[in-house]
Amino acid sequence: MEAYTEIREAVAKLCAGFPGSYWRALDRDMAYPTEFVNALTEGGYLSVLIPEAYGGSGLPLSAAAAILEEVQRAGCNGGACHAQMYTMGTLLRHGSDAQKAEYLPAIAEGRLRLQAFEVTEPTSGTDTGSLKTTARREGDHYVVNGQKIWTSRAEHSDLMLLLARTTPRTEGMKRTDGLSVLLIDMRAAKGNGLTIRPIRTMMNHATTEVFFDDLRVPAENLIGEEGRGFRYILSGMNAERILIAAECVGDAKWFIDKAKAYASERSVFGRPIGANQGVQFPIAQAYANMRAAELMVREALTLYEGGANPGAEANMAKMLAADASFEAANACIQTHGGFGFAEEYDVERKFRETRLYQVAPISTNLILAYLSEHVLGLPRSY
């Protein structure tokens, strides 16, 4: 039985107010789903992980997973706001009491948005240790210079978390040491050393590139200790992977339901196409794979909530769920024949949206490399 039945039903009801026509119109204009994100915020869904003492609901990660799964299952796109759930964990776990008191209640109330985080750079890609953006301490400020890419939702967020190099890399130094996390208030920074440029992508994802030119950030906005930022970002990655996996399970369920319905109602050669094994088997296979991925998501959640560090399970959940959703997307488009490519069925839009999760926030290859090295004990391949 699925957990959080009431939350799931409430999210499904909210999502019913944002049908395919809403998403198609946004998709055409590459516009941000402001009304949808506002509705989720007002419903308190984006602050479920914030402790009650700071105005949130203090629920565990599995509640956030249930919410995001339902969003995707309803045909909506949580990519517009999912980062608020896992980015906020860095502030929660590593921020000072003063930072938490300043930002968390405002985020919980929906007055502040923490939707953007910046790790990826154009030249370093997955190799985070070689990122080049610097934050140089000058008195009571850091001065930030460099460039980030794929900073999603930057135009629709008030705050962003930045990973930058505060200590130059020297011989013998661990490549991931000397990186720090800064919380940037973009309202003050825009036009004062921070420039954001949107990137048009195959799906509507509100992603951007961000340029820093002597941006001054108050030193009090450093999260945790200087030089330990990579560890702080890493500690949030399990949550991020598990939540993205839950979204992919939701996507897979949407594709399977859609394919099932169409296969039952579309008649060719005098009978429903779903009566043909060639049509029904790919849908059945997608269902089996979705269920297996769902079990791995649950395993990762159980371990995470038990206080373990489920790097392997979070990675496997993300990989298996992303594969399951893309396989279900493929079966769904095939089941729809030509209509799978028509905008009004929403299948092609969801197909484009779920394709992302083979690459972001971590690509399948890097997950396989992690499992090879850390679980199977094979030599490090990179």
Ligand X SMILES: Cc1cc2nc3c(=O)[nH]c(=O)nc-3n(C[C@H](O)[C@H](O)[C@H](O)COP(=O)(O)OP(=O)(O)OC[C@H]3O[C@@H](n4cnc5c(N)ncnc54)[C@H](O)[C@@H]3O)c2cc1C
Token pair for 146: 């460099």
The residue sitting closest to ligand X, measured at its beta carbon, is 125
Q: Report in angstroms how near the CB of residue 262 gets to ligand X at its nearest.
A: 28
Q: Which is nearer to ligand X, 200 or 271 (CB)?
A: 200
Q: Closest distance between ligand X and the C-beta of residue 22, in Å?
A: 20
Question: Whole-number minimum distance, CB 14 to ligand X, in Å?
Answer: 24
CA distances from 165 to 126, 143, 211, 268 (A): 16, 11, 15, 61
**Are the C-beta atoms of residues 162 and 133 closer than 8 Å to each other?**
yes
Q: Contact 286/331 with Cβ under 8 angstroms?
A: yes
Minimum Å distance from CB 126 to ligand X? 3
Residue 303: CB minimum distance to ligand X, A: 23
Q: Which is nearer to ligand X, 269 or 382 (CB)?
A: 382
Rounded to whole angstroms, the Cα distance separating 382 from 380 reads: 6
Short-list 106, 120, 117, 103, CA closest to 220:
103
Two tokens, residue 286: 């997608």
Whether 163 contacts 120, CB under 8 Å: no
**Across-strand partners of 152?**
207
Measured from the CB atom, the residue of 233 and 303 that comes closer to ligand X is 233
What are 362's two structure tokens?
Answer: 């971590």
Q: How far is the CB of 12 from ligand X (least distance, A)?
A: 26
**Residue 45 or 117: which CB sits closer to ligand X?**
117
> Toward ligand X, which CB reaches closer, 72 or 335?
72
Q: Shortest approach of ligand X to residue 359 CB, angstroms?
A: 6
Tokens of 341: 């490519």
Please, which residue, 118 or 251, has the CB nearer to ligand X?
Answer: 118
Distance CA 165, CA 135 (A): 6
Distances from the Cα of 247 to the Cα of 76, 82, 243, 267, 340, angstroms: 10, 9, 6, 32, 21
Shortest distance, position 80 Cβ to ligand X, whole Å? 12
Q: How far apart are CA 78 and CA 33, in angstroms?
A: 10
Nearer to ligand X, 118 or 346 (CB): 118
Between 106 and 203, CB nearer to ligand X: 203
Question: Cβ-count burial of 1 within 10 angstroms (0-12 exposed, 13-18 middle, 19+ buried)?
Answer: exposed
Instruction: Using DSSP bridges, classify how beta strands 141-152 and 134-138 pair: parallel, antiparallel or unpaired.
Output: antiparallel
Nearest distance from C-beta of residue 78 to ligand X, angstroms:
13
For ligand X, the closer of residues 217 and 331 by Cβ is: 217
Nearer to ligand X, 112 or 356 (CB): 356
Strands 114-118 and 159-165: parallel
Please say whether the beta carbons of 212 and 146 come within 8 A.
Answer: yes
Return the DSSP state at 116.
Answer: E
- Site residues for ligand X per CB under 6 A: 117-120, 125-126, 150-152, 201, 205, 207, 356, 359-363, 365-366, 369, 382
With H, G, I as helix, E, B as strand and everything else as coil, classify residue 185.
strand
Q: How far is the CB of 175 from ligand X (least distance, A)?
A: 14
Q: Give the Cα separation of 310 and 303 in Å (integer).
A: 6
Q: How far apart (Å, rounded) are the C-alpha atoms in residues 108 and 50?
A: 7
